[in-house]
Structures are given as structure tokens and as C-alpha cells.
């Protein structure tokens, strides 16, 4: 058993053990990958203020996200094709999350279906919803989430169009993978992954196949996003979704204070400041840099969460101290899943939890609700003075 001390250890194993096509899918940003890179490098520009000789006993990372108890405010973000990183990957990740006491968010673009995950877990999970043109599909998706007892819907609003990720095109990304000389040669070196895939029937987009109309190639993510997703999406349409779902609602993909206000007006319970992990608008600022202006605009009226760029507990601590009530990891847990399956997701959560707990203590704080900007040293021009 390899000694895992940080998310980078899991990432190295993920790369070694999972077909290149799927590792690359996770480890990509769009176009030049500027935003993808800056999501992480901007966290490094914020410093933590060390304090000493403060009683550090009795620390706790427990908190709440949208009123639900969490052992730390770090959810598992929706990630497409998770069941291609490891067989039945969404079920494995959901199980690891429920044991750890953090929310798991199932992507519309998952391999395991809503029903698969519900049947194989105990705790309610959250359902991420993409906005498709097909009204029946949308209503059924919300109904299926309700029948599966999902305790929140997360509507992603930043993918009307798909940002191009060069590697996916070059690798011919699909689920299940198309068998070309190159992909077969690569998959043959991933024995554990291959055995897992042979042992499951879940190799297609489980929420879509047999549910969505008008998709000509159901194995290609890019094709069915181009064909089925609603480029005409607007806030009135999002209001219709609000009516289709009467449970807690989170709107994901907010980068501008004006859009944060719109989400508030629609009646969302929380927003997620997110640039989709740098996978959509390349050239957008990092999500941690976008957070302060959004906190100023709506922070006292709605719960604000953040994803994109979090790879450590220190990053979580910085986002919380800047005002976020919750954070999400995507690639960090996918690295764990691709490296070691369910145990790897648990290990990713343990790593982040320990980093958060110890760093919080070394900043002189004992619980996450007491975190504020005072533990940070933020460069004066961090938020930018944009023309
Ligand atoms: C889908 O959400 C993707 O970013 O690939």
C-alpha cells in the first residue's frame, strides 16, 4: 500500500492507473488553460497569518452547508464520467462521502444513474442538473432526483456551450471508450481498471441513455452537449426550473456580482462561485479572486460556496476565511478515485481534513465558524482594479 500524504500522491497514482483518455479529461482546462492554472496559483498568493500560544484544544471542522450538517464544509463536486475513472465510480465516491459526512453531488453526466447511486447508498446525495432544451427530460430529471430522495439540486448555469479541451479531441474521448489501436494499447496497461470495467454494466451515461431525445451519439459528451443543451438559457428559464424542484436549490457557475443578484432573485438557497474548474471560459479570473466582490454583493443575503482550484485544506481554509460557507473538491477526489477507488476518495477527504484542521489551529482558530479575513494576508491588489 503506497504512503499517501497529499493530493499530489493520489494524482501520480491516478495518472499511472487510469487510461490516458480519462485522466486527461479530469486534468484539463479549456483552450490555453490559463484559468485552470490560475485557479490554483491564485490560492498561493494568499498567505495565512500564523498565531501562537492560543489554546488549540477541542478543535472541530464540523459545520453546515444549506442547513445540512457536514463534518467539514467540503462537498464532492459534480464531475462528469466519474464512473470511467474507476468502475461504478459515482457509487464509490458517494459511499466515501457519506461515511465521511460530506455531501456528494452526482453529475447529470455521470455513468451511474441517479437510481444506481440511490440504491447503493444510505444518505441523501445532491443532484447536479444541466439545463437541456427538452422540457420533459428536465421535469423527469427533477422527479427522479426527488424519488431518489436527493436533498438538494445544483443547477449548473455556465455550460450552455462547451469550452474546448484540446486533449479530449485528440484522445477521442467517449464512454465507453472507442476501441482504436491507440486506446486499446493504452488500456491494456491498466489491468486493475480493465478488470473493474469488465465487472460492471455501468459504462454509458446512465442519466441520459434512454431518457434524452435527439442525441445522435450518446457516447460522446461533446456531441450531446452540442445537440441537447439549451443555448437560449436565461433567468426566466431558471425560474421555471425553480418551480420544477421544491427542495433546496444551489446555483453553480457564478463569477459576476450581477449574476449573483439574479440567482438570489430566482430564490436559490446558495450559489457556487465557480468557473467550472477552468474548463469553460478560458481567460476568466480564478474563482478565489472572484469571491470578494460576490461576497460584497450578496454575502449577507445568501450562502456563498466556492469551487475551482481547491487541492488542499489550506485552500479550503483560505476560501472559508474569505467568506465562503462551503467549498467543493472535484479533481482532488477524482485523483483519489482513479488511484485507489473508494479508499482513495476516503484518503483524499482525510488528507484535506487533516490539512484544514491543523492549518486552522496554527492560525489560532478552533472552529470553522470563527474564520474570517483576520487569519489571511491578502495582497492589496488581489481583487484587481479592472478597467
Ligand atoms: C462537464 O461538466 C465537463 O466539464 O466536462
Residue 279, ligand 1, Cβ within 6 A: yes
Please tell me the predicted confidence (pLDDT) of residue 111: 97
The fraction of the chain above a pLDDT of 70, given in percent, is 100
Residue 133 confidence (pLDDT) above 90: yes
- In this structure, which residue's CA is closest to atom 4 in ligand 1? 279
- In this structure, which residue's CA is closest to atom 5 in ligand 1? 80
Please tell me the predicted confidence (pLDDT) of residue 326: 98
User: Average pLDDT for residues 325-330, to the nearest whole number?
Assistant: 98
Mutate to test the pocket of ligand 1, among 24, 33, 80, 131 (most ligand atoms within 8 A of CB): 80
Mutate to test the pocket of ligand 1, among 105, 159, 220 (most ligand atoms within 8 A of CB): 159
User: Average pLDDT for residues 331-340, to the nearest whole number?
Assistant: 98
Please tell me the predicted confidence (pLDDT) of residue 125: 98
Residue 217 confidence (pLDDT) above 90: no
Tens digits of per-residue pLDDT, 62-94? Answer: 999 999 999 999 999 999 999 999 999 999 999
- Rounded Cα–Cα distance for residues 202 and 207 (Å): 11
Tens digits of per-residue pLDDT, 92-126? Answer: 999 999 999 999 999 999 999 999 999 999 999 99
- Report the C-alpha dihedral over residues 316, 318, 324, 330, rounded to 10 degrees: -30
Given the CA of residue 225, which atom of ligand 1 is nearest to it? Answer: 1
User: Average pLDDT for residues 150-162, to the nearest whole number?
Assistant: 97
Please tell me the predicted confidence (pLDDT) of residue 212: 74
Residue 80, ligand 1, Cβ within 6 A: yes
Q: How confident is the model at residue 385 (pLDDT cuts 50, 70, 90)?
A: confident
Residue 252, ligand 1, Cβ within 6 A: no
Known binding-site residues equal: 25, 78-80, 107, 128, 130, 156, 165, 252, 274, 276, 279, 307-311, 330-331
- Rounded Cα–Cα distance for residues 200 and 194 (Å): 10
- Rounded Cα–Cα distance for residues 137 and 284 (Å): 31
Residue 109, ligand 1, Cβ within 6 A: yes
- Rounded Cα–Cα distance for residues 7 and 97 (Å): 16
Residues in contact with 71: Cβ distance below 8 Å, sequence separation at least 6, in sequence order: 61, 62, 100, 101, 102, 353
Please tell me the predicted confidence (pLDDT) of residue 211: 78
Work out the burial of residue 151: count CB atoms within 10 Å of its CB; fewer than 13 is exposed, 13-18 middle, 19 or more buried: middle
> How many Å lie between the centroid of ligand 1 and the Cα of residue 47?
31
Residue 2 confidence (pLDDT) above 90: no
Q: How confident is the model at residue 322 (pLDDT cuts 50, 70, 90)?
A: very high
Please tell me the predicted confidence (pLDDT) of residue 300: 97
Please tell me the predicted confidence (pLDDT) of residue 93: 99
The fraction of the chain above a pLDDT of 90, given in percent, is 93
Residue 276, ligand 1, Cβ within 6 A: yes
- In this structure, which residue's CA is closest to atom 3 in ligand 1? 80
Tens digits of per-residue pLDDT, 13-46? Answer: 999 999 999 999 999 999 999 999 999 999 999 9
- Rounded Cα–Cα distance for residues 157 and 259 (Å): 10
User: Average pLDDT for residues 257-285, to the nearest whole number?
Assistant: 98
Fold category of 7-41+68-353 in CATH = TIM Barrel (3.20.20)
Q: What are the residue numbers of the active site?
A: 276
Please tell me the predicted confidence (pLDDT) of residue 145: 98
Every domain of the chain and the residues it spans: 7-41+68-353
Q: How confident is the model at residue 386 (pLDDT cuts 50, 70, 90)?
A: confident
Distance of CA 168 to the CA centre of its chain: 19
> How many Å lie between the centroid of ligand 1 and the Cα of residue 81?
9
Amino acid at each position: 500500500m503506497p504512503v499517501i500524504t497529499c493530493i499530489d500522491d493520489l494524482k501520480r497514482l491516478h495518472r499511472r492507473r487510469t487510461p490516458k483518455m480519462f485522466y486527461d479529461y479530469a486534468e484539463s482546462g479549456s483552450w490555453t488553460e490559463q484559468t485552470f492554472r490560475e485557479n490554483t496559483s491564485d490560492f498561493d498568493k494568499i498567505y495565512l497569518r500564523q498565531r501562537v500560544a492560543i489554546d488549540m484544544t477541542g478543535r472541530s471542522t464540523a459545520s453546515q452547508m444549506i442547513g445540512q450538517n457536514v463534518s467539514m464544509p467540503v462537498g464532492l463536486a459534480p464531475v462528469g464520467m466519474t464512473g470511467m475513472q474507476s468502475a461504478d465510480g459515482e457509487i464509490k465516491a458517494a459511499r466515501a462521502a457519506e461515511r465521511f459526512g460530506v455531501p456528494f453531488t452526482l453529475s447529470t453526466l455521470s455513468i451511474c444513474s441517479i437510481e444506481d447511486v440511490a440504491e447503493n447508498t444510505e444518505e441523501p446525495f445532491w443532484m447536479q442538473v444541466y439545463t437541456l432544451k427538452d422540457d420533459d427530460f428536465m421535469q423527469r430529471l427533477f422527479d427522479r432526483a426527488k424519488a431518489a430522495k436527493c436533498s438538494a439540486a445544483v443547477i449548473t448555469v455556465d455550460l450552455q456551450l462547451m469550452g474546448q479541451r484540446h486533449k479530449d479531441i485528440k484522445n477521442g474521448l467517449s464512454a465507453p471508450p472507442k476501441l482504436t489501436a491507440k486506446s486499446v494499447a493504452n488500456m491494456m496497461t491498466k489491468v486493475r481498471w480493465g478488470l473493474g470495467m469488465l465487472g460492471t454494466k455501468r459504462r454509458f451515461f446512465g442519466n441520459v441513455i434512454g431518457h434524452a431525445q435527439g442525441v445522435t451519439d450518446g457516447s460522446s459528451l461533446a456531441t450531446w452537449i452540442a445537440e441537447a443543451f439549451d443555448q437560449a438559457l436565461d433567468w426566466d428559464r431558471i425560474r421555471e426550473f425553480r418551480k420544477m424542484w421544491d427542495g433546496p436549490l444551489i446555483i453553480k457557475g457564478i463569477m459576476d456580482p450581477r449574476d449573483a443578484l439574479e440567482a438570489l432573485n430566482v430564490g436559490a438557497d446558495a450559489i457556487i462561485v465557480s468557473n467550472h474548474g477552468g474548463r469553460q471560459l478560458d481567460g476568466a479570473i480564478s474563482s478565489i479572486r472572484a469571491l470578494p466582490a460576490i461576497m460584497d454583493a450578496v454575502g449577507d443575503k445568501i450562502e456563498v460556496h466556492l469551487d475551482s482550484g481547491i487541492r488542499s485544506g489550506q485552500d479550503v481554509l483560505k476560501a472559508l476565511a474569505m467568506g465562503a460557507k462551503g467549498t467543493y473538491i472535484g479533481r482532488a477526489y477524482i485523483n483519489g478515485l482513479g488511484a485507489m477507488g473508494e479508499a482513495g476518495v476516503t484518503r483524499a477527504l482525510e488528507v484535506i481534513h487533516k490539512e484544514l484542521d491543523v492549518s486552522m489551529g496554527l492560525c489560532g482558530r478552533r472552529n470553522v465558524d470563527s474564520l474570517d479575513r483576520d487569519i489571511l494576508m491578502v495582497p492589496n491588489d488581489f481583487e484587481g482594479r479592472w478597467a
